[in-house]
Structure 1
Amino acid sequence: MDQTTPSTPGRDAVLEQLVDLTLAAGTVPYQTDKYFSHARRVVETHGDQEVVYALFLRRRVIAALEPALRLLRRLVPEARVTRFFDEGEIVPSEKKLLEVSGPYSKLSEVETLLLQKVGVPCVCAVNAYDMCRAMPDAAFLDMHGRHGTGAEMNLLAAYGAAVGSETAKFHNDGKVRGFVGSSQDLTAPLYGAAAGSGTMPHALIGYTDGDVLEALKLFVETVPESPTAIALVDYLGLEVTDTLRCARWFYDEAGLDASGKVFGVRIDTHGGRFAEGLDYEKSVDVVGEWLDVDGEYNIVERVLGASVFQLDTGNILIDRARRILFGKGVSAASIIHVRRALDAAGYTQATIVASSGFDRQKCQIMGAASVPANVVGTGSFLPDKLSETYATADIISYGGVTRVKTGRENLLE
């Protein structure tokens, strides 16, 4: 399959940086599992063999293997690789991703380091793919940086999200905006961006005594090169009031739109309260009017499909959908509510950035409800559980003789 993820100078440089970070931690024997070093010593002493490793994951993923392959080329340049899925291609669970052939003495110690580079990007890729397809009209911004373990994980996860985004575009004839940037300079090139994106954290608003407009003014003055001016409007719980204050200053008083700068608001309402002007009943009304549907369960049926009440008899998914649509925090209702306030005041060109827990399920529900979020800031393409990322490698051939441990015969197919 002729797939996605074109190579670019920026992406190439970042992937090489990832390999450098890995090797900076120490030599391969220092980093690998000790039993692999023991195996190397045995075969070096008693006779080397040409072996074939098969690599796979136990869950559905998208192939995002370039970090692993770059490391392999650096460590064992003579190794030969057979790929069964192109970069960006969807891989069913337990299907072989690739086979690696070479001398056992060279490949044994590399196994640990190789597998470390496979699982995280492949799982992040399929999660990002699902998220982008669920909300095709929204641009996504990678904000996972704080949730990673450091630069190496940030690069692995971001590479996966970039691959998943490109795959979503490929499968939807380019009608998906996908990931357009990152909150980090480190990972921005993976999305084709020159630098990280962002305006202000909540702490900066605290610095201005809780005045988001003052924080916005300071930002515009201090970072004039930013093409956007995004106000974070939930600090005081005045999502609508502060949205309109900031929009009025940007458009009517400062006239910054004339310079080409883009104004927007970011909604990141705390999950313990409703956005300004809403409660549960009002939220149902807001979403119902948006979709032209009466009644919360009729809205849920519109969003999740007519069969949901037969399939979800325990109301687990239904209740989750109700929280996302009508509940506290960044709900569908809160985004629609702010959008309507901006439009009513004449600021139809203003952008809405939504953040807070936009995982695959939340994106699916938001997308099905046609929520008017222009940008989604999220790091929730990260795996739900670390065990999802566990990749496995088994040798399936020794010296040209097919041999695999009992239970892994499927790898011979």
Structure 2
Amino acid sequence: MNRNGDETRMVQPSNGVETPGLKTACSSAPLPDPVITARTDSYFNRTKRIVSHFGDCEVTYAFFIRRPVISAPGLMLEWLKNVMAERNSPYTIDLIHPEGAWVGAGEPLVYITGSFTHLADLETLLLQKLGSPCVAAHRAYQIAVSLPHTKFLAMDARHCAGYEMQELMAYAASVGGRAAKRDGAIGFIGTANDAVAPFFNSTHGYGTMPHALIGYAGSTVRAAEMFHELYPETDLVVLVDYFGKEVTDALAVCRRFPDLAAQGRLGVRLDTHGGRFLEGLNPQESYAVVDRHAPEALRRYRSDSELRYLIGTGVSAAAVWRMRDALDEAGFPHVKIIASSGFGVTKCACMADAHAPIDVVGTGSFIPDRWNETYATADIVSYNGTERVKIGREFLLPSQRKAQKGSSA
């Protein structure tokens, strides 16, 4: 119950259902007060003591981010709920932008009202759990809608600075992916890790083999045999770039497992190093391949990076088309193509322009590359019901927002 006798409320995302996995995430677990004290900024600890000494008051915090984002406050709000329950301190949430919604630069994302004594020392940790997932969700959304007919797999874990960041990024990919799905894209269907799979309403991560297994086996076919012997019920996806013979090894695996190929349970993953072309390609042949399948993609101005994604080295649109042609010509039209290696927004858009026949993309490129853009900010905008905020932040005041909304109606 809050001070007005109302029940503390937890505003749900726009679809009325919390994101799967929030309740069991490590990032949502409450921390003991001494740990919170050690991890928060010291001036918040001093503020907490001062307010406790001179008298508590009810405050309202406004949280915002200075760049456009997709709202992804779930882990922050779940953690807040658990901490405030431990402290037996009521609070209310006014979630202005539901999970998955577009948030403009500087717009208040959520208002949180409660005891100043119990909220003061939480600000640092709340901000840590808000900014980066909102930016990453925005990037995941942009990636998914840039290549709307392709499935995406979150492969961010190896690029994260520890497990808490991994949870934040995986949660963000799930939010951005669902937002993209609402706009007609397939979006992110899962992750490479079991621990964060619940965010995608799954129990397990996806993935078959790294390059290391092929090196151990001594050949691509032998690695596929080893995998299939131990995991016969799992669809077989084989990396084919280890020996620089992507087409040759892909066809060899298909011929070794013709039944899986015919059933659509076999896939080849392209992860060709950016320092060389896929087997059989060169600058001239790469241009010719794309020109045959999507000439319009080459008929307008392209930046150097866009040309590289279309006809350059590594996993280019030409490489994808070359593999698809080789598989189809050899009688394996149901074998899937999985692509990885730097699939950010621009690369995905280039692949879409070239109609590249990619079934699944594995990427961690939704992780923010400009970390200073992830900085969330919070300001108190009300003390015991009286609006007050530092000069320059008046746009955060609830009354100002209501006035602006009324004038635009």
TM-score by length of 1: 0.89
Q: Distance in 2 between matches of 1:217 and 1:345?
A: 21
**In structure 2, do the counterparts of structure 1 residues 100 and 2 end up closer, same or farther at CA, with 3 Å as the change threshold?**
closer
**In structure 2, do the counterparts of structure 1 residues 208 and 91 end up closer, same or farther at CA, with 3 Å as the change threshold?**
same
The aligned residue for residue 299 of structure 1 is 298
**1:132 maps to amino acid:** A
Q: Distance in 2 between matches of 1:24 and 1:40?
A: 16
Q: Distance in 2 between matches of 1:11 and 1:382?
A: 20
**In structure 2, do the counterparts of structure 1 residues 144 and 87 end up closer, same or farther at CA, with 3 Å as the change threshold?**
same
The aligned residue for residue 202 of structure 2 is 193
The aligned residue for residue 363 of structure 2 is 378
Which secondary structure state, in structure 2, belongs to the residue aligned with residue 11 of structure 1?
coil
Q: Distance in 2 between matches of 1:25 and 1:225?
A: 47
The aligned residue for residue 6 of structure 2 is none
Question: Is the 8 Å Cα contact of residues 5 and 88 (structure 1) preserved in structure 2?
Answer: no
Residue from 259, 264, 269 that aligns with 1:266 = 269
**1:354 maps to amino acid:** A
**2:324 maps to amino acid:** R
Question: Is the 8 Å Cα contact of residues 134 and 367 (structure 1) preserved in structure 2?
Answer: yes
Residue from 207, 218, 229 that aligns with 1:221 = 229
Give the gaps of 5 or more residues in structure 1: 302-308, 310-316
Q: How far has the Cα of 1:18 moved from its partner?
A: 2.5
RMSD: 1.9
Residue from 211, 236, 245 that aligns with 2:252 = 245
**1:349 maps to amino acid:** H
Q: How far has the Cα of 1:171 moved from its partner?
A: 2.0
**1:7 maps to amino acid:** E
**In structure 2, do the counterparts of structure 1 residues 166 and 387 end up closer, same or farther at CA, with 3 Å as the change threshold?**
same
**In structure 2, do the counterparts of structure 1 residues 269 and 112 end up closer, same or farther at CA, with 3 Å as the change threshold?**
same
Which secondary structure state, in structure 2, belongs to the residue aligned with residue 393 of structure 1?
strand
Q: How far has the Cα of 1:268 moved from its partner?
A: 0.1
**In structure 2, do the counterparts of structure 1 residues 236 and 370 end up closer, same or farther at CA, with 3 Å as the change threshold?**
same
Is residue 63 of structure 2 the alignment partner of residue 55 of structure 1? yes
Q: Distance in 1 between matches of 2:260 and 2:346?
A: 37
Residue from 91, 116, 121 that aligns with 1:79 = 91
Residue from 280, 284, 288 that aligns with 2:283 = 280
Question: Is the 8 Å Cα contact of residues 254 and 261 (structure 2) preserved in structure 1?
Answer: no
Q: Distance in 2 between matches of 1:245 and 1:24?
A: 57
Q: How far has the Cα of 1:392 moved from its partner?
A: 0.2
Is residue 131 of structure 2 the alignment partner of residue 146 of structure 1? no
Residue from 179, 186, 211 that aligns with 1:202 = 211
Residue from 287, 290, 294 that aligns with 2:293 = 290
Q: Distance in 2 between matches of 1:357 and 1:328?
A: 12
The aligned residue for residue 78 of structure 2 is 70
The aligned residue for residue 3 of structure 1 is 14
**1:58 maps to amino acid:** R
Q: How far has the Cα of 1:2 moved from its partner?
A: 7.7
Q: Distance in 2 between matches of 1:160 and 1:205?
A: 32
Is residue 126 of structure 2 the alignment partner of residue 114 of structure 1? yes
Offset from partner CA, 1:109-146 (integer Å, 9 cap, x none): 01011111101211111111111111111111111110
The aligned residue for residue 180 of structure 1 is 189
Give the gaps of 5 or more residues in structure 2: 1-11, 401-409
Offset from partner CA, 1:174-224 (integer Å, 9 cap, x none): xx2211111100111211222111110011111122x11110100101222
Is residue 395 of structure 2 the alignment partner of residue 396 of structure 1? no
Offset from partner CA, 1:259-308 (integer Å, 9 cap, x none): x5700100000011111111111111110111145xxxx6152xxxxxxx
Question: Is the 8 Å Cα contact of residues 31 and 83 (structure 2) preserved in structure 1?
Answer: no
Which secondary structure state, in structure 1, belongs to the residue aligned with residue 361 of structure 2?
strand
TM-score by length of 2: 0.89
Which secondary structure state, in structure 2, belongs to the residue aligned with residue 352 of structure 1?
strand
**In structure 2, do the counterparts of structure 1 residues 234 and 257 end up closer, same or farther at CA, with 3 Å as the change threshold?**
closer
**1:118 maps to amino acid:** L
Identity of aligned residues (%): 43
Q: Distance in 1 between matches of 2:312 and 2:254?
A: 26
Runs (4+) of structure 1 moved beyond 4 Å?
A: none
Q: How far has the Cα of 1:72 moved from its partner?
A: 1.0
Is residue 132 of structure 2 the alignment partner of residue 133 of structure 1? no
**In structure 2, do the counterparts of structure 1 residues 382 and 111 end up closer, same or farther at CA, with 3 Å as the change threshold?**
same
Q: Distance in 2 between matches of 1:274 and 1:392?
A: 45
* 1:41-52 matched pairs, under 5 angstroms: 41-52=49-60
The aligned residue for residue 232 of structure 1 is 239
The aligned residue for residue 387 of structure 1 is 372
Q: How far has the Cα of 1:399 moved from its partner?
A: 2.2
The aligned residue for residue 407 of structure 2 is none
